[in-house]
Amino acid sequence: MLDGRVLALDRNEAGRTTLHGGSHGTGQANWRFEGHDATSCALSIRLPDGLDGFPGTLDLTARYSLDAEGALTLSLEAQTDAPTFCNFAPHSYWTLGAADGLADHRLRVTAETYLPTDAAEIPLGIQAPVAGTRFDFRSQRAVMVAGDAPLNHNLCLSGTPALRPVCWLSHGDVTLEIATDAIGLQLYDGVHINTGALRTHTGQPYRPHAGLAIEPQAWPDAPNQPDFPPITLRPGARWTQVSRYALTRRPGSDQERTKP
């Protein structure tokens, strides 16, 4: 429901649900290159009114920038000409070892609760404590342990929604620190990854668990969950999200800092 109107969105996931903004989401489209300077570049895209069922013409800008420490910051901004829903999420996969995969990777996330889901991976509408569950990353632990349930859930981030460190992924002496002003972090263990015979960055196909998706976002399914923070964007308002990715090595290693 949006302002008393039922929206029928694109059912691009198993013919039932809307995944990643629908069949024509921003991850499936070419963006316009808007320019660059020595340390940053900007891209934009316009989503037309009614695309995959979402009302309003929505303009989205993404700016990637490197700071003096070599960290990468992604700043997103969106505006619309009609009420719509807006919850974009960077969907990068990470692996820090010499080979693809999540073996020997450890994770810490500042989240006391997570969103349980049903069999279709849709949130049940409640927050549950992470304590004693597979989703407890308050202290660093292995991303994957034999017998663990699959990981494709939103963790409800602690702290005020300002840019703050929320996630640390480590392998050996290398650590990725992610800071964001988002209220949620979707974690997906990549169990369904399979690029077939296609070559990838390594020249080899990607297989299940090739990387961990770490996705800053608002909570999923918010329009259908009255107790979740809303994601409605209205004309005249501006939606923003900022996330920062910093790779470091422990002091004493061969190279103390690695630039992404």
Given a cut of 60, whether residue 254 has pLDDT beyond it is no
Structure-model confidence comparison of residues 250 and 141, the more confident one: 141
Catalytic residue among 91, 112, 121, 177: 91
Report the C-alpha dihedral over residues 144, 150, 76, 29, rounded to 10 degrees: 120
Q: What percent of the chain has pLDDT over 70?
A: 97
Per the domain annotation, does 193 fall within a domain? yes
At residue 94, the pLDDT reads: 96
Given a cut of 60, whether residue 258 has pLDDT beyond it is no
Per the domain annotation, does 77 fall within a domain? yes
Per the domain annotation, does 11 fall within a domain? no
Is 91 marked active-site?
yes
Given a cut of 70, whether residue 142 has pLDDT beyond it is yes
Instruction: Please compute the mean of the pLDDT values over residues 145-173 and round it to a whole number.
Output: 95
Q: How many CA atoms lie within 13 A of 114 on its CB side?
A: 23
Tokens 């029928």 label which residue? Answer: 8
Among 4-8, 195-199, 202-206, top mean pLDDT goes to 4-8
Contact status, residue 187 vs residue 89, Cβ threshold 8 Å: no
Instruction: Please compute the mean of the pLDDT values over residues 51-72 and round it to a whole number.
Output: 98
Give the model confidence (pLDDT) of 106-139 as tens digits.
999 999 999 999 999 999 999 999 999 999 999 9
Query: Which residues form the domain of 72?
Result: 26-249
Structure-model confidence comparison of residues 253 and 178, the more confident one: 178
At residue 204, the pLDDT reads: 86
Q: Is residue 259 very low, low, confident or very high in pLDDT (cuts 50, 70, 90)?
A: very low
Question: Which CATH number does the domain housing residue 75 bear?
Answer: 2.70.98.10
At residue 253, the pLDDT reads: 56
Is 201 marked active-site?
no
Per the domain annotation, does 4 fall within a domain? no
Instruction: Please compute the mean of the pLDDT values over residues 40-50 and round it to a whole number.
Output: 98
Per the domain annotation, does 260 fall within a domain? no
**CA distances (Å), origin 227, targets 2, 8, 18:** 15, 21, 20
> What's the pTM value of the predicted model, to 2 decimals?
0.93
Give rounded-to-5 percent helix, strand, coil for the chain: 5, 40, 60
Contact status, residue 239 vs residue 233, Cβ threshold 8 Å: yes
At residue 201, the pLDDT reads: 84
Per the domain annotation, does 14 fall within a domain? no
Give the model confidence (pLDDT) of 83-108 as tens digits.
999 999 999 999 998 787 999 999 99
At residue 257, the pLDDT reads: 47
Question: What average pLDDT does the chain have?
Answer: 94
Q: E strands of the chain, at which residues?
A: 32-36, 40-47, 58-66, 72-80, 84-85, 93-94, 106-109, 111-114, 128-129, 141-142, 152-157, 164-171, 174-180, 184-188, 212-217, 232-233, 239-249
Q: Is residue 260 very low, low, confident or very high in pLDDT (cuts 50, 70, 90)?
A: very low
At residue 252, the pLDDT reads: 64
Catalytic residue among 105, 153, 209, 215: 215
- Eight-state DSSP code of residue 120: T
At residue 223, the pLDDT reads: 96
Domain count, the chain: 1
Per the domain annotation, does 97 fall within a domain? yes
Per the domain annotation, does 9 fall within a domain? no
